[in-house]
Structure 1
C-alpha cells in the first residue's frame, strides 16, 4: 500500500500528537486526530499551526486532516495508530483500540516511560504493537489562542522499533524525523534518564533551558541519574546514549561548572528559551502527572534490585504534593528539593 493510501490515526492528539499529525498531514499523509473536545473545537475553528526550532512555521487548514472526539469514528479507519496519550490512559486506549480498530492496524507507542508498549500488548493480544520514543519537547499555545499552535522546542529523531521499513517511509516527513532502532529497551531507558528532569522543571516552574543552565538544579538531576544507573546496572539494563554521551558520563557532565557545561553541552541546551516539560504543563492544568511512570519506574527497579534511591523518593514525594494541591508549579528553589548536605552529591 502506498504511503498516501495509508491512514494514520493519532490516538490522543495533545501536544506531541498534534505535532506529529500536523507534520504528516503537511506531507500529504492521510491523518485523523482523535482529540479531546477542547482540541477538536480549536482545530475546527482555526486549523493547526506547526512550528519548530529550525524556524519552520506552517499552517494545517481544518480540512486537511480528520478531527474527531469519537474513537468509533477514527479507529476503524486506521492502518497505523500512533498512541500519544499520557501513560495513565494507556490501558483505556488499548481497550478502545481493541474494540474499534481493525486487527491488522499497526500500533506504535510514542509515549514517555519504559513499559507502555508492553501495556498495549497486554491489552491488545495478538496485534502488531511497536515501541517508540519521541526525544523532543513540544509546547502548546495557551487555551483560546487560534490557530492552535504546537511548537517543537528541541531536536532529535523519533525512534520506532525495527521490523517494518515501510513505517519509517510513511512517518519520516519534514519536521518529524523518524528512524528504526533494533534495541528500543535501551533507547527507552536512556530517554528515561533525561526525563527525570521533567519533575525538576515542574517543581521549579523554570523554562527548561534556564533550569539546565543552573548547576544547582543539574546537581539534583545528576544525583537522580546516579541512583537510576545503579538500579539499572544491578538489573542488567544498559541504557542507550543520551545526546551523544555514554550514560555513565552524563552525571559528570551535569556537575561541571556552568561556564564549562554551556561550552560542552551545546546539544543538550539547544532548546527554545520558553520550553518547559510536559509535567509542568500537567501541574498547570491540574492534571495527573507521569511521575509514577518516570521516577516511579526507577524506584520500582531500585526496590527490586535493592539499591538506594533517596533523592528519587524525595522528588517523587514533592511532585505528588504539587499534583494533589492542583495549584500549578510550586516554584521551589533547588535547596527546597535537595537541601545542602543531603543526598545531592557535588
Structure 2
C-alpha cells in the first residue's frame, strides 16, 4: 500500500460511508465522497458533522470536503475504493467501478451480508477486492437537519481481509479503528448472526438498546440464531466469536433474565440510547431493505442444508410486508412476531 496521500473514494456514501469518510478526512487523508445529488447539495452548503459514542463531536467545513454525485468524476481518481452501498446496489457499483476506476485501485467492501465481496470480485475480474466488516451502528441526522450529522452509536473495530500491506495504517484513524483478519468468511457469518436483530428493531420501532434490554425480543433473536447455527453447522460454516462470545453461547446469553443479561452483556448493550438499525431507517424512508441479504442468506443456507428455520421465515415475511405497505415501521409487539398480524390502514 502506498503513502497516505492515496485518494480514498467512498463509493455510495450513506451513514457508514459518511462516517468512515468523515473520520478519514479529519485525519488528513485524501477523501472523495460519491453521494446522491441531494446529499451532495447539503454537504456543499453546510459541511459534515461527525460524532461518536466516546464523546467526540467534530465538524468539517464545506470547503474541506470533496463530494460529487458523478461516478465519472470520483472513481478515476481512486487509489482505494470503500464500497458502502446497500447490498442491492452492489452489482451496479461493480459496473461503475469497472467503467471508471483505474485497474490498480484497491476495492474494499464495507457492507452488510456475507456475499458482497464475492459479487464485487465477480464483476471486477483481475482487480483486488477485499472483504470488510463494520461492527458498529451509525445514525444519520433526520432529513432537512443541517449540517448533516453522522453519529457512531456503538463501539467496535472494523475488520478488513488480510493481504495488502499498510492498508490498516492508511484506513485506521481516530474514531475508525481498523484491524486485518485472515478468515473474513468466519467474521462475516458471525456478524450476520447479530445482524438478524436488525429486522426486529425495524419491526418493533424501538431503539436498539431498548429492544435488546427486553428478554421477549431477545428470545426471538435467540430463536433466529439457533436456526442459523443449525444451518451453518450442516454446511460446514464456523462463524467467528461475537462480542467475545462463542456463537453457540449466544442463544443462552440472550435468554437470560433482564437483570442478569444487563450484568453479563455490557459490551452488547454499550449503545447510544437512540440508535436503531439501518433496516428501520429503510422502512421509515420507504426504501428496500437488506432483508434478502441478512435473513435471506439464512433461508438460502437452510434450503441447502435441509434444516427448518420457521422464525427466520416469519420475520422475513413481516419485513417484506412492511416494505410493500411503505408505511414505515409497523411497531409490532414481540407476541405479534409469532402470531398473524393484520394489515395496517392509512
Normalising by the residue count of structure 2, what TM-score does the alignment of the two structures yield? Answer: 0.97
Matches for 1:53-64 after TM superposition, within 5 Å: 53-64=53-64
Give per-residue Cα distances to partners, 1:13-64, cap 9 Å, x unaligned: 0000000000000000000000001211111111000000000000011122
Structure 1 position 39 matched with structure 2 position 39: yes
Q: Secondary structure at the match of 1:292?
A: helix
Give per-residue Cα distances to partners, 1:188-221, cap 9 Å, x unaligned: 0000000000000000000000000000000000
Give per-residue Cα distances to partners, 1:118-176, cap 9 Å, x unaligned: 00001111100000000000000011111100000000000000001311100000000
Q: Secondary structure at the match of 2:126?
A: coil
Q: Secondary structure at the match of 2:267?
A: coil
Give per-residue Cα distances to partners, 1:55-76, cap 9 Å, x unaligned: 0000011122210000000000
Q: Is the 8 A contact 1:14 1:39 kept in 2?
A: no
Q: Secondary structure at the match of 1:160?
A: strand
Q: Moved runs in structure 1, 4+ residues, more than 2 A?
A: 1-4
Give per-residue Cα distances to partners, 1:305-340, cap 9 Å, x unaligned: 000000000000000000111110000000000249
Which residue pairs with 2:221 in the alignment? 221
Structure 1 position 104 matched with structure 2 position 113: no
Matches for 1:56-95 after TM superposition, within 5 Å: 56-95=56-95
In 1, Cα distance between the equivalents of 2:270 and 2:338? 26
Which residue pairs with 2:192 in the alignment? 192
Which residue pairs with 1:162 in the alignment? 162
In 1, Cα distance between the equivalents of 2:260 and 2:251? 14
Provide structure 1 residue ranges, at least 5 long, that are not aligned to the other structure. Answer: 341-346
In 2, Cα distance between the equivalents of 1:322 and 1:2? 46
Provide structure 2 residue ranges, at least 5 long, that are not aligned to the other structure. Answer: 341-346
In 1, Cα distance between the equivalents of 2:65 and 2:6? 13
Q: Is the 8 A contact 2:9 2:75 kept in 1?
A: yes
Which residue pairs with 1:15 in the alignment? 15
Q: Which segment drifts farther, 39-48 or 208-217?
A: 39-48
Which residue pairs with 2:124 in the alignment? 124
Which residue pairs with 2:242 in the alignment? 242
Deviation at residue 4 of structure 1 after TM alignment? 3.2
In 1, Cα distance between the equivalents of 2:159 and 2:177? 9
Which residue pairs with 2:207 in the alignment? 207
Q: Is the 8 A contact 1:134 1:158 kept in 2?
A: yes
Structure 1 position 259 matched with structure 2 position 262: no
Which residue pairs with 1:344 in the alignment? none
In 2, Cα distance between the equivalents of 1:239 and 1:260? 25
Which residue pairs with 1:299 in the alignment? 299
Structure 1 position 171 matched with structure 2 position 163: no
In 2, Cα distance between the equivalents of 1:38 and 1:141? 14
In 1, Cα distance between the equivalents of 2:56 and 2:156? 15
Q: Is the 8 A contact 1:279 1:289 kept in 2?
A: yes
Which residue pairs with 1:27 in the alignment? 27
Deviation at residue 2 of structure 1 after TM alignment? 5.1
**Aligned pairs, number:** 340
Give per-residue Cα distances to partners, 1:226-250, cap 9 Å, x unaligned: 0000000000000000000000000
Q: Is the 8 A contact 1:80 1:106 kept in 2?
A: yes
Normalising by the residue count of structure 1, what TM-score does the alignment of the two structures yield? Answer: 0.97
Q: Is the 8 A contact 1:3 1:29 kept in 2?
A: no
Q: Secondary structure at the match of 2:82?
A: strand
Give per-residue Cα distances to partners, 1:57-116, cap 9 Å, x unaligned: 000111222100000000000000000000000000000000000000000000000000
Aligned CA RMSD, in angstroms, stands at: 1.0
